[in-house]
Amino acid sequence: MPLSHVKSEAHFARAQKVIPGGVNSPARAFGGVGGTPVIIDRADGPYLYDIDGNRYLDYIGSWGPHILGHRHPQIMDAIQASLQKGTSYGAPCESETVLAELVIAAVPSIEKVRMVNSGTEATMSAIRVARGFTGRNVIIKFAGCYHGHVDSLLVQAGSGALTHGVPSSPGVPAGCTADTLSLPYNDCQQLEDTFSRRGGEIAAVILEPVVGNMGVVIPTPEFLQTLQRVCRQHGAVLIFDEVMTGFRLAFGGAQERFGIRPDMTTLGKILGGGMPVGAYGGRTDIMNSVSPVGPVYQAGTLSGNPVAMAAGIAMLTALKELNPYPALETFTARLCVGLSALAGKYGLPHTIPQIGSMFTLFFNPEVVTSYDVAKHSDTKRFARYFHAMLDGGVYLACSQYEANFVSAALTEEHLQATLQAADRALEQIARS
């Protein structure tokens, strides 16, 4: 039974008059699934509540940040306490150092770290630093990976760019992307060949060490090992974009799971506990090229904002205390086994890559290893599944080319409710 979205529809019509597409980020616009985005009124624990009074089990958690669920007491208390001391100083404060120390303790490859305000700022800055440090210009990225809306990285990008069918954006001058090479993810041979031909020009390779932005795509061990080897051989900076996977797949991120030590790492999402925080960091020799120590300029009025730092400190402290990762892995694995059984029961070709608390149900019979495979997914069938689940009170990522995120606020009761909604949804779409 479809839910009532009368108020959301009315408000979204109003929003579209004053905000492009009615959204401040295209990923929220339901472009990949059609229909009208529900307007959220509030969130608590595992739930989102829209302005029509509908309640949803939340499987995006603000696209990753809310690994402990919404309004976690430790994070909310820290934000409230910080607010009593003001909102922003434009001068150094203790909490910036405390959060930097927590990041460095959690991610050993990070020896020095700079806070910024978004994942995009983190990757944009990391690219500039890698180019400044090496004196080289060429950057390698991988098709389907999304690293924020950085000019030089909006080439065959994933996430909203892929969802909306514009993986390489207009408005980016050719000069900005002339030095960006986009290779197939998980393709060791093309990586090797590119380095053989142009190794001396390559400043950095940036990748999602587990892709979330074309749906979940897991790297082969050989791919990661090849990456590390060729970067070291040719003096290129290996950048793990862990904006999504950092503190998500393990406390030390994907690099902890895979035992790979990148030269630089970008972070965001969970790091801010729901507040706007990004960060980039890595080897001391590289990070010492950043102003004011070195010549590579990067700055930000609200970087290291004390309220955001307080939220990040509370988040990382809670994650260390609670260690939710084993339970998240078990929950997510059980959920995906259940979803796959249901999709199979209704004869729906699918694959469900899952790692840690990230998963995607691809309506695609092939195991998705790269952009070329992902793009053959049945996005129309996904759209019907998404809306059927939404009507069932389950809020999934609104694109086939996004990851879902399980939070520690979800319990057995929620797992069963999700599978019951999926049973109805998958039966419904199998019939249509």
Strands 112-116, 278-282: pairing is antiparallel
Of the pair 271, 313, the CB lying nearest ligand KE4 is at: 271
Number of residues that bind ligand KE4 (CB under 6 A): 22
Closest CA to 420 of 383, 388, 387: 388
Token pair 């199998």 is found at 430
- Contact residues for 304 (Cβ-Cβ < 8 A; gap 6+): 92, 93, 95, 96, 115
Tell me the residue number closest to ligand KE4, measured at CB.
119
Per-residue interface string for the shown chain with ligand KE4, residues 86-125, x marking contact by CB under 6 A? --------------------------------xxx--x--
Q: Give me the amino acid identity at 301.
A: T
Residue of the chain from 160, 262, 282, 392 that contacts ligand KE4 (CB under 6 A): 160
Residue of the chain from 243, 328, 408, 410 that contacts ligand KE4 (CB under 6 A): 243
Tell me the window of 206-214, 232-240, 336-344, 370-378 that interacts with ligand KE4 (CB under 6 A).
206-214
231 DSSP 8-state letter: H
Q: Considering the rule CB under 6 A, would residue 255 count as an interface residue with ligand KE4?
A: no
Query: Is residue 77 among the annotated active site residues?
Result: no
Q: Considering the rule CB under 6 A, would residue 402 count as an interface residue with ligand KE4?
A: yes
183 DSSP 8-state letter: E
Strands lying side by side in the sheet with 404-405: 354-355, 358-359, 404-405
Which sign does the torsion angle of CA 277, 281, 286, 287 carry?
positive
Tell me the window of 140-148, 223-231, 252-260, 338-346 that interacts with ligand KE4 (CB under 6 A).
140-148
Could you tell me if 245 and 210 are in contact, meaning their C-beta atoms sit under 8 angstroms apart?
yes
Q: d(Cα 207, Cα 239) in Å, to the nearest integer?
A: 7
Q: Considering the rule CB under 6 A, would residue 58 count as an interface residue with ligand KE4?
A: no
Residue of the chain from 50, 241, 256, 263 that contacts ligand KE4 (CB under 6 A): 241
Q: Considering the rule CB under 6 A, would residue 148 count as an interface residue with ligand KE4?
A: yes
Q: Considering the rule CB under 6 A, would residue 205 count as an interface residue with ligand KE4?
A: no
Q: d(Cα 393, Cα 391) in Å, to the nearest integer?
A: 5
Q: Considering the rule CB under 6 A, would residue 357 count as an interface residue with ligand KE4?
A: no
Q: Give me the amino acid identity at 211.
A: V
Could you tell me if 410 and 57 are in contact, meaning their C-beta atoms sit under 8 angstroms apart?
yes
246: β partners: 250
Strands 278-282, 264-267: pairing is antiparallel
Of the pair 243, 429, the CB lying nearest ligand KE4 is at: 243
* Annotated catalytic residue, options 47, 141, 185, 269: 269
* Annotated catalytic residue, options 56, 59, 146, 280: 146
20 DSSP 8-state letter: G
H or E element: which one contains 230? helix 221-234
Query: Is residue 241 among the annotated active site residues?
Result: yes
Q: Considering the rule CB under 6 A, would residue 268 count as an interface residue with ligand KE4?
A: yes
Q: Considering the rule CB under 6 A, would residue 186 count as an interface residue with ligand KE4?
A: no
Q: Considering the rule CB under 6 A, would residue 147 count as an interface residue with ligand KE4?
A: yes
Q: Considering the rule CB under 6 A, would residue 150 count as an interface residue with ligand KE4?
A: no
Smallest gap from Cβ 87 to ligand KE4, in A, equals 20
Q: d(Cα 356, Cα 267) in Å, to the nearest integer?
A: 17
Tell me the window of 40-48, 194-202, 237-245, 365-373 that interacts with ligand KE4 (CB under 6 A).
237-245
Which active-site residues does the annotation give? 146, 241, 269
Residues that bind ligand KE4 (CB under 6 A): 25, 27-28, 63, 118-120, 123, 146-148, 159-160, 208, 212-213, 241, 243-244, 268, 278, 402
